[in-house]
Amino acid sequence: MSNMVQAIRMALHVAEERHDLTDVFGEDVGPPLGGAFTATQGIKCAWNTPLDERGIVGASIGLGLAGCRNVGEIQFCDYAYNTIDLLKLAGMMYWVSNGDWNCPMTIMTPVGSGIRGSVYHSHSFDATATHIPGFKIAMPSTPRDAYGMLLSCIVDPNPCFFLVPKALMRVRNAPGEEIPGEPGDDRALSKMIDAPLGDRSKWQPRWPETPDLFVPFGEARTVRKGRDVTVVSYGRTLPLCAKAAEELSQENLEVEVIDLRSLWPYDWERLKESVARTGRVLYVNEDTEVTNFGEHLVRRTTDELFYHLAAPPKLLGGAFVPGIGLADNLEMASVPQLPSIRQAISDLAAMEA
Amino acid sequence: MSTNLRPVPSAPESEISPELLLRLHELMVKARVLEERLIQMYKQGDGYFWIGGPGEEAFNVPLGMLIQKGRGPQFDYCHFHYRNSGTWLAMGGDPIDSLRQMKNTATDPFSGGRNFVGHYSRREWNVVPVSSPIEVQHSMAPGTALAQKRAGGRGITIVTGGDAGTAEGDFSTCLIWSSRPANPLPVLMIVTNNKWGISTSYQGQHGEKRVSDRGKAFGIESKTIDGNDPEVSYREIARAMEYVRSERKPFLLEAMVSRLYGHSSASGANRISDEADCLVGFERKLEERGLRSRKEMDDLRARFTAQLQEAHKKVRDEPQPDGKTIYDNVFADRDLVREG
């Protein structure tokens, strides 16, 4: 069963074989490394660029305008900040030309904390990405969703962000959520598609036969049904929310957990139905809490569901500090962890209606 | 112009037919009259902001005449900046469309009233949307050139900018990405050097004697020319283009030009008297060679002026975009750039 980087690799392979993906590029993306997280190993159209994020985003736009489906990688989203004006430009291409120039392109970048990445390998990007109109934004929390959402990004006629929670890169699919066609045995898959250590010049991957599986934009996934509280999350914090819900079920609290996964467009209908039913909602992500995407969701919840609410809608986000410190205690205190998520859910459930 | 900014003299031989010279002249006049009309529109309140390229016609018009326009990688991709009106007209653009963009009408074919004047865009001709941030087009250019290199053929990517913009990292990006030993790209990098960035002089900010010198470090063929001479410009652009088309490698062409009405309406858009006027110099030559008389030239200008006056009146009555349309075309549901 694949982990998330293997799922990404398989999606890129399918896209270059069957969906006209012409370029996967970025720093250390091509051979011999195949990506800092190995997500591009064995991809024929993967190539290395100069160490220049503006060049990567610019080339991605240019390739898109020339009709080439492409995936440009920013090695860590922390290094995308010097490309913001180019990202704005990509997002406005179709709008500013009043519908004449669309721009198919995908910017793939690892996001978030969880690997003790210190100040410049732990940033989140969802608040920034959702502040750039014109992009579709995918942020999977399972390998299967990573596979299906990356394929959706690649074939979309618009610019897309594919945000990869780096803490989940090695997490595997839950039983029953496999990608059809992938070997069930982890070691068998590894032998097929993981590049060997040492000399890789003669190595060729053997790809499993996996299908066109498109996870559509704008469709959230209900991870767990519940009647008492709705928890909406995505990325690294999603499995923590699911775990907290599982633990709280021992205390007779039934928590509904929704994986938003498509940040733009997003599945408001599913959120609305759930929150109207439970009357309580907690949004959880790990980006800094001021002008956080969850704040938008809180505002919309208040605007549209006020009379359904039994308690104020809540947001649990990351601390509004300039970076995430390296020391274990610093990282743990900066972004939501299982205990703080569990506590936030309990507190919300306990608030009097 | 100081000594160290003088262009490298070009070969004196003439390869340009009289018919072509007259066509060059006609388009230069048309481009100048267009810019003058746009400035007038601004001053009359028929537009919020003017920016353009009066003074660059001797370079921009030949450039437009030499571009292989069309759609897709077999034709030239154009990443212009906002001073390319002469190029646009020489490619066959209708001047009334510039007036429409100036007046931000719903009929503006480039942006539907969303963007400033001179911000051209036309997929049918591979003209990608011009954007206001300086030099970003240089980061995008290697992308279209990469597609062209892979597609084969003689299509090239043309990217234009000014001298001040070369201080942006995007200029370096273009130099580096287009000259990668792993895959050199067919990019014609053009710098029209008017020696100014708004109010800041080139000489106060740039230690390099010529912008084109920067190409040398990357092994990029480079040249500085007199962009105020349309014959020199035509020949040198044609040569640079031929090199890029056939060698599939980059070329950096710097053209020394004039800025006749300042940076934009933000600095008044008034005529600058101490800059050389390429049109005056060229008209003198045409007269001396007996190719076009003063009267013919005056008639030509009067004709274009009248045409644009009419166009201005027409545009005044055209509708403004409806506020309800702001959400239109945020997302595409068709992959237009991939459709044949």
Interface confidence (ipTM) of the complex: 0.96
Nearest to B176 among A50, A60, A158 (CB): A50
* Domain formed by A221-350, architecture: 3-Layer(aba) Sandwich (3.40)
Angle among Cα A81, A86, A90 to the nearest 5 degrees reads 125
* pLDDT at residue B1, rounded to an integer: 37
Which among B129, B147, B180 has CB closest to A101?
B129
Q: Say yes or no: A102 contacts chain B, CB-CB below 8 A.
A: yes
pLDDT at position B340, please?
A: 65
Q: How confident is the model over B227-243, as pLDDT tens digits?
A: 999 999 999 999 999 99
Query: Would you call A65 and B143 a contact, using CB atoms and an 8 Å cutoff?
Result: yes
pLDDT at position B267 is 83
Residues of chain A with Cβ-Cβ distance to B336 below 8 Å are: 100-102, 157
Report yes or no on B150 lying in a domain: yes
Question: What are the tens digits of pLDDT across the range B263-280?
Answer: 888 888 899 888 999 999
Does B81 fall in a domain?
A: yes
Sort out which chain A residues have CB atoms less than 8 A from B121's CB and list them: 96-97, 100-101
The answer to the question of residue B337 being in a domain is no
For A72, the closest chain B residue by CA position comes to B143
pLDDT classification of B14: cutoffs 50, 70, 90: low
Tens-digit pLDDT profile for residues A226-257 = 999 999 999 999 999 999 999 999 999 999 99
pLDDT at B7: 52
What is the rounded CA–CA span in Å between residue A203 and residue B90?
A: 53
Query: What mean pLDDT do residues B82-107 have?
Result: 98
- pLDDT at A73 exceeding the cut of 60: yes
DSSP β-ladder status, B196-197 and B200-201: antiparallel
User: In the predicted model, is pLDDT for residue B3 greater than 90?
Assistant: no
**Which residues in chain B are closer than 8 Å to A60, comparing Cβ atoms?**
143
Query: Which residues between 157 and 176 in chain B have a beta carbon less than 8 angstroms from any beta carbon of chain A?
Result: 157, 169-170, 173, 176
Residue B170 within any structural domain of the chain: yes
| Yes or no, beta carbons of B114 and A61 under 8 Å apart | no
- Contact between A186 and A172 (Cβ < 8 Å): yes
For the entire predicted model, the pTM comes to 0.96
CB-CB: which of A47, A68, A158 is closest to B332? A158
Q: How far apart are CA B29 and CA B110, in angstroms?
A: 23
For residues A282-287, average pLDDT: 98
Least CB–CB distance from A67: residue in B170, B334, B338: B338
Q: Which CATH superfamily hosts domain A4-193? A: Thiamin diphosphate (ThDP)-binding fold, Pyr/PP domains (3.40.50.970)
Q: A116-148, pLDDT tens digit by residue?
A: 999 999 999 999 999 999 999 999 999 999 999
Predicted confidence band at B4 (pLDDT cuts at 50, 70, 90)? Answer: very low
Q: How far is A82 from chain B (nearest CA, A)?
A: 10
Asked if A185 has any chain B CB less than 8 Å from its own CB, the reply is no
Q: What is the extent of the structural domain holding B190?
A: 15-319
Asked if the structure places residue B330 within a domain, the reply is: no
- CA dist B2 and A201 (Å) reads 55
The answer to whether the Cβ–Cβ distance between B169 and A136 falls below 8 Å is: no
Q: Nearest-CA distance from A27 to chain B in Å? A: 13
> How far off is chain B from A308, nearest CA to CA, in Å?
30
Tell me the CATH number at B165.
3.40.50.970
Domain ranges of chain A: 4-193, 221-350
Question: Which residue's entry shows tokens 């308690």?
Answer: A311
| pLDDT for B215 beyond 80 | yes
Q: Does B189 touch chain A (CB under 8 A)?
A: no
Q: Is B123 on the interface with A (CB under 8 A)?
A: yes
- Cα gap A8→A10, rounded to integer Å: 5
Number of domains observed in the structure of chain B: 1
Task: Say if B329 falls within a structural domain.
Answer: no
> Nearest 5 degrees, angle CA A339-CA A344-CA A346?
95
Look at A96 and B123 and tell me if their CB atoms are within 8 Å: no
Q: Which two tokens stand for residue B323?
A: 């506020």
Contact A58/B at CB under 8 A: yes
Q: Looking at the domain assignment, is residue B8 inside a domain?
A: no
Angle formed by the axes of helices A4-18 and A143-155, nearest 10°: 30
State residue B12's pLDDT score: 46
Report pLDDT digits (tens) over A140-172.
Answer: 999 999 999 999 999 999 999 999 999 999 999
Phi/psi for B24 (5° steps) reads -55, -50
